[in-house]
């Protein structure tokens, strides 16, 4: 296998930094440059893998810079924006209703409800009230009171 040119190495490192798999990078190199490379060669250009531990500092720096830029520029991708996704779901639901595909329209509405309800985030919503929105009842658990409650529970058994 011929040595890789600096352009191909740069391409491989940047693709890996953007979280592409080695197999995806192999296919991309073949289509972009017409050169066949193995998955092992590609993995050797990933400093986060064991095979890439001895990668030159130049490539490690390029990898880290590209990875940071990729992470921060995710906001520039429209589909990463909630409002964009909701508008797209709305267009699809209207189209599904117009062709009388009610099952698809219902699925799209459910998808939109999950999207607005935060089903696709890692945030947790906690309810800070008692039953039916009433205040949370606190119990008096001083040592004497705790003993009385425990006796009452034991008597019920």
Check residue 119 and give its pLDDT. 61
**Residue bearing the bigger pLDDT, 40 or 126:** 40
Residue 149 within a domain = no
Question: b or e along 89-99 (b: 16 or more beta carbons within 10 Å of the residue's beta carbon)?
Answer: beebbeebeee
Q: Provide, rounded to the nearest whole percent, the portion of the chain with pLDDT above 70.
A: 78
Residue whose tokens read 């191909």: 8
Q: Which domain holds residue 102?
A: 78-116
> Which of 26, 61, 76 represents a domain boundary (last residue)?
76
Of the candidates 20, 107, 29, 142, the one whose C-alpha atom is nearest the C-alpha of residue 70 is 20
Q: Name the pTM for this structure.
A: 0.53
Residues 62 and 99 in one domain: no
Are 29 and 82 within one domain? no
| 24 and 60 co-located in one domain | yes
Shared domain check, 87 and 51: no
């Amino acid at each position: 296998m011929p040595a890789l040119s600096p352009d191909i190495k740069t391409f491989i490192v940047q693709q890996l930094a953007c979280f592409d798999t080695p197999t995806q990078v192999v296919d991309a190199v073949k289509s972009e440059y017409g050169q066949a490379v193995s998955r092992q060669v590609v993995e050797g250009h990933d400093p986060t893998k064991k095979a890439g531990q001895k990668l030159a500092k130049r490539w490690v720096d390029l990898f880290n810079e590209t990875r940071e830029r990729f992470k921060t520029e995710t906001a520039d991708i429209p589909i990463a924006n909630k409002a964009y996704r909701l508008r797209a779901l709305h267009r699809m639901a209207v189209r599904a209703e117009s062709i009388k595909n009610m099952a698809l329209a219902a699925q799209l509405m459910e998808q939109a409800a999950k999207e607005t309800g935060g089903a696709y985030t890692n945030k947790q919503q906690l309810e800070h009230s008692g039953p039916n929105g009433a205040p949370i009842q606190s119990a008096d658990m001083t040592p004497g009171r705790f003993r009385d409650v425990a006796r009452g529970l034991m008597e019920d058994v």
